[in-house]
Amino acid sequence: MGAHVYAAPAARPRKPFYQHLYVQVIAAIVIGALLGHFQPTVGEAMQPLGDVFIKLVRMLIAPIIFCTVVHGIASSDDAKKVGRVGVRAIIYFEVVTTIALVIGLVSMNLLRPGAGMNVDPASLDTKGIQAAANARPEGVVDYLMHIIPDTIFGALARGDILQVLFFSVLIAFGLQRIGPRAKPLVDMIDVAAHGLFSTIGIIMKVAPVGAFGAMAFTIGKYGIVSLLSLAKLLAVFYGTCLIFVFGVLGFICYLTGFSLWKFLRYIKEELLIVLGTSSSESALPRLMAKLETLGCEKSVVGLVVPAGYTFNLDGTCIMLTTMAYSSPRPPTSISACGRSWLCSASCSSPRRARRA
């Protein structure tokens, strides 16, 4: 009787380092900064490249959120579990956002990054803030009324994440109540979601081009010298962000047995895209896809990540409390990191998360 010989599966060849997206984005950021510094006029002309990339991603965010939330909740057998996740998310957003504000206030008062600037208020151009100064303050009722869109299609067209999330949750629970009769529609929505994520994969091929254009424009318009003059201010901001990420989020991850450093490595491409484009929206679709790959349920990802983009802007909180005056727009990857951790901590397969 002949012995059966089983051939071991061939090892998957490793891609050359220059084919990795994060390497391409880093190279594009460096090249864009050099172009903006040595050829400022040409650098400013590169602005459309960054704007086009951000618009390409932004046009798919609303339908991706809709498909992900509706399919995730409607296909879930436990509606109460989805509700518990939502309540935990809101509590987490409130607590961690408050901590971010406190850390920012402490840093500002201890280090005083704006001290010594001796800026004469009379010399400032206030034309740019007149609209904000004359705007009517928005109360709680106004804010809650804004959550409800005039029409579903209007919210999708504007890309209002909070409104899209609101009616997506309602539709999802409505489909869940119908039961098996809704399965064909839910399956169709799932297919649409996969098609949208595939489209995002195509758009991400040009992420280095978008990062190049955004960085070239920033350096070309404002110059490296103007950025260096704000060195202390930027150092305080980024130092505070590092304290928040590795102190606050790191401690939370430690309590849950989760490796923050491994997770940061897992989403390094998204963080670099945010750094190059100065827009956290550019990383949202890929971030949601990676969290699902990590083992998070669709209902968790679809509910927590979009809601976090509205309620959990930790990076913005730190910026508002540490910036004593106008400064270059900082990356908003800090908030993305916090939202991603919350999803990861709710993964259905924690062992897979630890191995990532």
- Report pLDDT digits (tens) over 17-35: 777 888 888 899 899 989 9
Residue 346: is its pLDDT beyond 80?
A: no
> What value does the mean pLDDT take over residues 324-351?
43
- Dihedral of alpha carbons 196, 202, 205, 208, sign: negative
> What value does the mean pLDDT take over residues 179-190?
90
Per-residue model confidence (pLDDT) at position 141: 84
Distance CA 39, CA 201 (A): 32
pLDDT tens per residue, range 205-243:
898 999 899 889 988 888 877 666 667 777 888 888 899
Residue 352: is its pLDDT beyond 50?
A: no
Q: 327: part of which helix (H) or strand (E)?
A: none
Residue 102: C-alpha distances to residues 26, 112, 238, 248, 318 (Å): 32, 15, 15, 12, 9
Q: What is the DSSP string of 103-128?
A: HHHHHHHHH-TTTT----GGGS--GG
The residue among 20, 54, 35 whose CA lies nearest residue 212 is 35
Amino acid letter, residue 309:
Y
Query: Where is pLDDT greater, at 202 or 307?
Result: 202
The Cβ of residue 42 has, within 10 Å, a number of other Cβ atoms equal to 12
Task: Tell me the average pLDDT of the chain.
Answer: 78
Q: How confident is the model at residue 124 (pLDDT cuts 50, 70, 90)?
A: low
Distance CA 85, CA 125 (A): 46
Q: How confident is the model at residue 134 (pLDDT cuts 50, 70, 90)?
A: low
Residue 348: is its pLDDT beyond 50?
A: no
Residue 117: is its pLDDT beyond 60?
A: no
Per-residue model confidence (pLDDT) at position 325: 42
Beta carbons of 327 and 234 less than 8 angstroms apart:
yes
For residue 270, what are its two tokens?
């998204």
Instruction: Please give the share of the chain, as a percent, with pLDDT higher than 90.
Output: 14
